[in-house]
Amino acid sequence: QVQLVESGGGSVQAGGSIRLSCRVSGFTARTYCMGWFRQPPGKEREGVTTYDSDGSTTYRDSVKGRFIISKDNTENILYLQMNSLKPEDTAMYYCAADPSEYCSFRRAFAGMDYRGSGTLVTISS
């Protein structure tokens, strides 16, 4: 049974850091495109960053230089290190995975084969 379980969300002040984790079971994370998506309150869900099977990454402009995606292929865990957080980063963050060769934050969350249920990140000013 495939499962993606996010953890690490919480509340921090602007300028702080949070690290999210996505533990995967039921498939080998190493061979999949994996990514993080988010849905701010009252807004549409958007792609944040992806990590491809060859190690290549993509980031949306608003998080470049602040967020880092990484993956532990041994433990089947996807991480998102978020630094210099801003109030506009407040959102529900979701992990997703797909076997497709097209791996970009521009992909639609609904188009990913496997999706987590999310973890909430709240940034106060």
Of the two residues 77 and 102, the one the predictor is more confident about is 77
Answer whether residue 64 shows pLDDT above 90. Answer: yes
In a 3-state reduction of DSSP, which class is residue 77? strand
Query: pLDDT band for position 36 (50/70/90)?
Result: very high
- d(C-alpha 5, C-alpha 87), whole Å: 24
- d(C-alpha 10, C-alpha 96), whole Å: 20
Query: pLDDT band for position 27 (50/70/90)?
Result: confident
Total residues belonging to the chain: 125
Which position has the token pair 């106060």? 124
Q: Which residues contact 22 (CB under 8 A, 6 or more apart)?
A: 4, 5, 6, 7, 34, 36, 77, 78, 79, 80, 95, 116
